[in-house]
Structure 1
């Protein structure tokens, strides 16, 4: 597989590559707001309607298992363009669904189609193979803003659309965005951007089954554990299947998802730090709305608007993160980011029922800046020095680690929050103690980041060359 030499995305291509992940991330959260309307209009109980959310997240996990193979077999851009087209069509089908059964089925299709969009777009926008020369390896400012603002945008935009036009509008809005994005994706395909497909690649069927079932069961079990307790067989069974996949993949030359990247000590540490930042990021994205709506009793719209600046701050700092790492080092930037993340998260333990929304938003923005500076250099470091054909494996591995860490982190912290809140007789006390736990988690990431070797944002040197830890600035 080869990539067009020196090809970089034009503005049209970048727009097409940004739109897909934004749609996928928004649809991960926006339907939560529509659940009460779906129960009322479709006439089905909450236990059934909730599968419009759970089915999508479950399908995302399963689709993620096939992403690396599809990209290697058909190429990065064709896989992305096909996924974007299917996501757009299934969004329209969701909007036209006549009953809950149809809606759940099309949401599953939506999730399967949305799974490859984020990992593939990251690789295509950052640069071929992560080999960063000059501007390559730097995330565009618009892409950083869009990616990180998307979760909060989903909450605020969803509240406006549902209130004005009903629940079907949150799916119909994907149609014009998808149609406008497809020309950019097709232009990227014509330009030969990204690694091309290799029709000689054969599917690792048993590996795909083990990986998809493991991710699916783990994601579903952890999601259920947060609400119904940990006494379930789903997530342990999922972890067993994932362990079986690891053993299987070690003996396969073309596994569904190659895990040899994790054997490199620098990339293994990078993945661990990505997991830490994911826990601190996704947990607060989940807990901050609970604080604003349950403790302070703000509306969904106010909550979404309060979260949006955090996403914008993350986007700005993500775009600037690799530039700062080029001037200093990845180690310096990530250590500083982890420390600042610990401080700003710890300050959230001082919030009260009467804290002004603007002050909460300011603290969230501080967290956003810290996460952007932390996560972006880590992603570029993970991709650094890889040939184009290894990008799908690296990005998919990153997405798998991020999803599992975020899911377990949220579930464990929600359990802790509920337990401590009940013991203290105060939801605010539970929230504050949970923020302290998150701050400690971020603080633990700082000494880990200090082990990263001194390196520029282009990361790990020559493809296939093993890297080692060394002193940094």
Structure 2
């Protein structure tokens, strides 16, 4: 629900603008307000879960998200919509890290890979289905339905949470790092906002440059602050754990290449191939189907080849499949486009399953909450960087080419796919630093005497 809403609104912006009697450009804040709420809320989610318990916080997040969805659907003007989206973003910021934390603390490391697949799949499918589902809803009904469909989902989720979800608390009551929260959240919020509006020329270069310097300064100040505080908001010293560091940093760069696809592929299909929006959306469906199929075999692949070999080779495969989209043109058969999409979903799913579980291979149980918060924060930033990278590369190759010049647009997009594919392949070098037996406590269930109990009991 949260991942779907992150992208589903984009398709409905023209309809929402017409209904609220504003220009579509003025509703950019509807999208950015949600992203900013995530950037601010995710860092504090771990502390809140440790303090008040996973069941209570997760239930509160779902209730807040559902209520905010109703308020979005009832909005009468743009300010009301922005305010409701801010609330929705806060609920979403608590959902993913806290839900992932409950999974980590429930299952032993030997079963964590299979369990985490159920958390990873929505992150893969949501951004792919969002534009398609949003387009269908706007075509068949009112844009308000986009938000109202969250009500039955949210009510069902609340029932399941209070009936089945375990309630974990932190091992110690650590104080909230208010100064760290202000420094890190403001720094990431400014940086995320800059990346969202990048290339739209809504700010002059001088202002954007000053804000970029400010965001970097705030994040640098937080790094200094965290190293001099006993209970920091984000325990950056966890990055000294080799497997955790490689997973977080390698995943950050990999997602930058992959993150440009949701922006580039609709341009290729609609501007390059001249397909209608609904057809363009259908061509992105095979990727989601392949991601679900990979869920069934990912544990066996990792058990057979290990994290190092899988991540090094699979990252290269992702780069190659991104580059294959540069061969797609007006005369390309549909089955060939579908085949590339299937490969992309297959490799993406294996990649995210591997990176997201490797992060917890050598993290101590007492740091599981902090590790979940850090990975979620970096993933949110990498999504913003990925979209910005896709926008930058496309704008660079498109230049002043009119969108009506289909051949020239297609050629420019082909160059963009090659650039992102090469970037992704180069990022595989980070995973070369893994050792052959890294992650075996997860992929093969080894060191069972140490990790046989759930993380909450270890």
Q: TM-score, normalised by structure 1?
A: 0.86
Match for residue 179 of structure 2 among 202, 206, 211: 206
Which digits, 9 at most, give the CA deviation of each residue in 1:341-366, with x for residues without a partner? 12211211111234344422321221
- Give the drift of 1:429: 2.1
Q: Distance in 1 between matches of 2:204 and 2:421?
A: 24
| Deviation, structure 1 residue 198 | 5.8
**Match of residue 454 from structure 2:** none
More displaced stretch, 340-349 vs 114-123: 114-123
Task: Give CA deviations for 1:2-49 in whole Å, capped at 9, x if unaligned.
Answer: xxxxxxxxxxxxxxxxxxxxx111111111111111111101233432
1:295, distance to aligned residue in structure 2 (A): 1.9
Compared CA separation, residues 95 and 158, structure 1 to 2 (3 A): same
Partner Cα separation in structure 2 for residue 346 and residue 240 of structure 1: 36
In the alignment, structure 1 residue 431 sits paired with structure 2 residue 413:
yes
Of the three residues 324, 341, 346, the one matched with 2:318 is 341
Asked if residue 153 in structure 1 is aligned to residue 129 in structure 2, the reply is yes
Aligned counterparts of 2:229 and 2:116: Cα–Cα separation in 1: 36
Alignment deviations for residues 258-295 of structure 1 (CA, whole Å, 9 cap, x no partner): 11111222221221211122112211122111211222
Moved over 6 A (4+): 460-463
Q: How does 1:47-196 map to 2 (within 5 A)?
A: 47-125=25-103, 127-128=104-105, 131-133=108-110, 135-139=111-115, 143-189=119-165, 191-192=166-167, 195-196=168-169
Normalised by the size of structure 2, how large is the TM-score? 0.88
Deviation of 1:236 after TM superposition, in Å, equals: 3.0
Q: C-alpha root-mean-square deviation of aligned residues, in Å?
A: 2.5
Task: Indicate which of 353, 359, 372 corresponds to 1:376.
Answer: 353
CA 1:116–1:36 in 2, change beyond 3 Å: closer, same or farther?
same
Provide the secondary structure at the position in 2 that maps to 1:303: helix
Q: Call closer, same or farther: CA 1:422–1:405 in 2, change over 3 Å.
A: same
Q: Which of 273, 276, 284 does residue 307 from structure 1 map onto?
A: 284
* CA distance in structure 1 between the partners assigned to 2:215 and 2:416 by the alignment: 27
How far off its partner does 1:407 sit? 1.8
Larger deviation: 266-275 or 29-38? 266-275
Closer/same/farther in 2, CA of residues 424 and 162 from structure 1, 3 Å limit: closer
More moved, 210-219 vs 302-311: 302-311
Unaligned stretches of 5+ residues in structure 1? 1-22, 466-473
- Report whether the alignment pairs 1:454 with 2:430: no
